Amino acid sequence: MEPANAAPYSQLITLYLAETWEPPDILESASRLAAARDTSLLLANDATANPYSFVHVSGGGQQPVVLVDPHELDKTTDI
Protein backbone atom coordinates (compact mmCIF):
# COMPACT_ATOMS: atom_id res chain seq x y z
CA MET A 1 0.00 0.00 0.00
CA GLU A 2 1.24 3.43 -0.82
CA PRO A 3 0.70 6.17 1.77
CA ALA A 4 -2.52 8.15 1.52
CA ASN A 5 -2.71 11.90 1.16
CA ALA A 6 -5.59 14.25 1.98
CA ALA A 7 -7.47 13.50 -1.26
CA PRO A 8 -10.30 10.95 -1.21
CA TYR A 9 -9.36 7.62 -2.83
CA SER A 10 -5.69 8.57 -2.83
CA GLN A 11 -4.22 5.23 -1.76
CA LEU A 12 -2.91 2.85 -4.40
CA ILE A 13 -2.88 -0.89 -3.71
CA THR A 14 -0.95 -3.23 -5.98
CA LEU A 15 -1.21 -7.00 -5.68
CA TYR A 16 1.16 -9.45 -7.35
CA LEU A 17 0.11 -13.09 -7.69
CA ALA A 18 2.14 -16.12 -8.65
CA GLU A 19 1.52 -17.09 -12.27
CA THR A 20 0.34 -20.52 -11.18
CA TRP A 21 -2.71 -19.04 -9.43
CA GLU A 22 -5.95 -18.61 -11.31
CA PRO A 23 -6.65 -14.87 -11.48
CA PRO A 24 -9.36 -13.91 -8.98
CA ASP A 25 -12.49 -12.00 -9.93
CA ILE A 26 -11.48 -8.35 -9.51
CA LEU A 27 -14.87 -7.02 -8.40
CA GLU A 28 -15.44 -9.87 -5.93
CA SER A 29 -11.94 -9.38 -4.48
CA ALA A 30 -12.47 -5.62 -4.25
CA SER A 31 -15.80 -6.14 -2.47
CA ARG A 32 -14.15 -8.40 0.09
CA LEU A 33 -11.30 -5.93 0.62
CA ALA A 34 -13.73 -3.00 1.01
CA ALA A 35 -15.78 -4.95 3.55
CA ALA A 36 -12.69 -6.07 5.48
CA ARG A 37 -11.28 -2.53 5.61
CA ASP A 38 -14.71 -0.92 6.21
CA THR A 39 -14.14 1.47 3.32
CA SER A 40 -14.96 1.92 -0.35
CA LEU A 41 -12.77 1.59 -3.44
CA LEU A 42 -12.67 3.12 -6.90
CA LEU A 43 -11.61 0.73 -9.64
CA ALA A 44 -10.96 1.48 -13.29
CA ASN A 45 -13.98 0.38 -15.31
CA ASP A 46 -12.48 -2.16 -17.71
CA ALA A 47 -15.84 -2.53 -19.49
CA THR A 48 -15.26 0.79 -21.28
CA ALA A 49 -12.42 2.76 -22.86
CA ASN A 50 -13.62 5.90 -21.06
CA PRO A 51 -10.76 6.94 -18.73
CA TYR A 52 -13.24 8.80 -16.49
CA SER A 53 -15.46 5.77 -15.80
CA PHE A 54 -14.90 3.87 -12.56
CA VAL A 55 -16.64 1.24 -10.47
CA HIS A 56 -17.36 2.41 -6.91
CA VAL A 57 -17.12 -0.68 -4.69
CA SER A 58 -18.61 -0.17 -1.24
CA GLY A 59 -18.12 -2.23 1.88
CA GLY A 60 -21.80 -3.17 1.60
CA GLY A 61 -21.29 -4.84 -1.77
CA GLN A 62 -22.76 -2.21 -4.10
CA GLN A 63 -20.82 -1.71 -7.35
CA PRO A 64 -22.30 1.21 -9.33
CA VAL A 65 -20.45 2.67 -12.30
CA VAL A 66 -19.55 6.32 -11.66
CA LEU A 67 -18.06 9.03 -13.85
CA VAL A 68 -15.48 11.38 -12.38
CA ASP A 69 -14.98 15.03 -13.27
CA PRO A 70 -12.22 15.08 -15.92
CA HIS A 71 -10.97 18.49 -14.76
CA GLU A 72 -10.55 17.27 -11.18
CA LEU A 73 -8.94 13.98 -12.21
CA ASP A 74 -6.49 15.63 -14.59
CA LYS A 75 -5.31 18.30 -12.12
CA THR A 76 -1.62 18.14 -11.36
CA THR A 77 -0.86 17.90 -7.67
CA ASP A 78 2.36 18.18 -5.73
CA ILE A 79 3.09 15.02 -3.78
The domain in which residue 39 lies consists of 1-79
Torsion angle defined by CA atoms of residues 55, 25, 35 and 79, in that order, rounded to the nearest 10 degrees: -60
Please tell me the pTM assigned to this model.
0.67
pLDDT band at 4 (very low <50, low <70, confident <90, very high): low
For the stretch 12-44, pLDDT in tens is 777 777 777 777 788 888 898 889 888 899 999
Distance of CA 56 to the CA centre of its chain: 7
Residue-level pLDDT at 65: 96
Q: Which helix (H) or strand (E) holds 74?
A: none
Residue-level pLDDT at 5: 61
Q: How many domains does the chain have?
A: 1
DSSP annotation of 25 reads: P
CA dist 73 → 19, 25, 41, 54, 56 (Å): 33, 26, 16, 12, 15
